[in-house]
């Protein structure tokens, strides 16, 4: 599947919207301690909203893509072998039911729902839904990236123009890098006008794809965080690759992913982080 039809694309959007309305929004601001659990670390959380939304969305997407490998964040948490099959899958659908769970669980409205359609190891469609505001960022390979408002109004996305390093704003989740690497990255962060992290890939991709922020450097490669966003950023005119220079693929699990306005600024940012 190299192309996703208008009908299927719209149907996936509706599935995401319905899952958010049924499983996520009713629980927002009503999350209790009994509904929150930890996974790999004290701040790596899962809530009833994550589990309910992934279950509902998996059922809906299975109907549209009956032969696809479904890769849900919570399903992989329960069965890591699912992720090992992504690289060889002819067709896969990747789901992050609540991206930014820590924010969600603490009453902060910076969270989203992410879905990516991957064909032959390449993302061909990506959707990020923002339940609180009811809008989407969306892209299909070769067709541009778009903001789709709650009322259906579409606006084409464009990354920020490149500029001097000292004027750039970007995302760097320093706490997610190994302790021995943090001093190096911390010093490099001083080269830029501002660096921050929002603990939510959905909103960080929104910022870089709409031109609000210049770049993002990611410490981990989880496909539910990045497969859709990398495509949206690319279709908005941006450039992304691992710090090694290797092109990003959804099946990758190791490396440092850097997104920038264009290839030239990407190289300048890369040098700032790798050469000090």
What pLDDT, on a 0 to 100 scale, did the predictor assign at position 33?
Answer: 45
Query: Running DSSP on this structure, what letter comes out for residue 194?
Result: E
What pLDDT, on a 0 to 100 scale, did the predictor assign at position 276?
Answer: 65
What pLDDT, on a 0 to 100 scale, did the predictor assign at position 48?
Answer: 85
Lowest mean pLDDT among 50-54, 137-141, 229-233: 50-54
Band (39; pLDDT cuts 50, 70, 90): very low
Mean pLDDT of 106-111: 92
Do the bridges between strand 91-99 and strand 112-119 make them parallel or antiparallel, or are there none, so unpaired? Answer: antiparallel
**Is there a contact between 146 and 155 (Cβ–Cβ < 8 Å)?**
yes
Question: Which range in 31-35, 41-45, 187-191 is most confidently predicted, on average pLDDT?
Answer: 187-191
- pLDDT at 22 exceeding the cut of 60: yes
**Is there a contact between 159 and 209 (Cβ–Cβ < 8 Å)?**
yes
Mean pLDDT of 134-156: 97
Give the separation between CA 89 and CA 219, rounded to whole angstroms. 25
**Is there a contact between 219 and 256 (Cβ–Cβ < 8 Å)?**
yes
Instruction: Describe the crossing of helices 201-209 and 223-235 by its angle, rounded to 10 degrees.
Output: 10
Band (34; pLDDT cuts 50, 70, 90): very low
CB-count exposure of residue 102 (10 Å: 0-12, 13-18, 19+): middle
Percent over 90 (pLDDT), the chain: 86
Q: Which residues of 3-19 are buried (b: 16+ CB within 10 A; e: fewer)?
A: ebeeeebeebbebbbeb
- pLDDT at 35 exceeding the cut of 60: no
Model confidence pLDDT, tens digit, residues 56-81? 999 999 999 999 999 999 899 899 99
Band (31; pLDDT cuts 50, 70, 90): low
Mean pLDDT of 224-247: 98
Residue at token pair 């890939």: 201
Give the separation between CA 152 and CA 155, rounded to whole angstroms. 10
């Amino acid at each position: 599947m190299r192309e996703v039809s208008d009908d299927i694309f719209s149907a996936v959007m509706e599935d995401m919207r319905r899952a958010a309305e049924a499983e996520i929004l009713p629980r927002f601001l009503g999350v209790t301690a009994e509904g929150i659990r930890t996974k790999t670390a004290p701040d790596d959380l899962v809530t009833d909203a994550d589990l309910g939304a992934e279950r509902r969305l998996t059922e809906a997407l299975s109907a549209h893509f009956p032969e696809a490998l479904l890769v849900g964040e919570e399903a992989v948490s329960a069965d890591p072998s699912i992720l090992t099959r992504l690289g060889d899958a002819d067709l896969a659908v990747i789901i992050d039911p609540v991206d930014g769970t820590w924010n969600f669980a603490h009453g902060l409205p910076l969270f989203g729902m992410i879905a990516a359609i991957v064909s032959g190891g390449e993302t061909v469609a990506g959707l990020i839904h923002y339940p609180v505001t009811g809008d989407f960022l969306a892209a299909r390979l070769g067709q541009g990236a778009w903001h789709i408002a709650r009322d259906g109004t579409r606006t084409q996305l464009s990354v920020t123009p490149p500029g001097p390093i000292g004027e750039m704003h970007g995302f760097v989740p320093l706490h997610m890098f190994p302790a021995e690497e943090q001093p190096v990255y911390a010093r490099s962060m001083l080269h830029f006008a501002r660096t921050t992290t929002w603990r939510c890939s959905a909103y960080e991709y929104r910022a870089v794809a709409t031109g609000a922020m210049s770049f993002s450097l990611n410490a981990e490669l989880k496909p539910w965080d990045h497969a859709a966003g990398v495509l949206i950023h690319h279709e908005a005119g941006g450039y992304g690759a691992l710090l090694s220079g290797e092109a990003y693929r959804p099946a990758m699990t190791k490396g440092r992913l850097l997104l920038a306005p264009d290839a030239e600024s990407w190289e300048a940012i890369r040098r700032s982080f790798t050469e000090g």
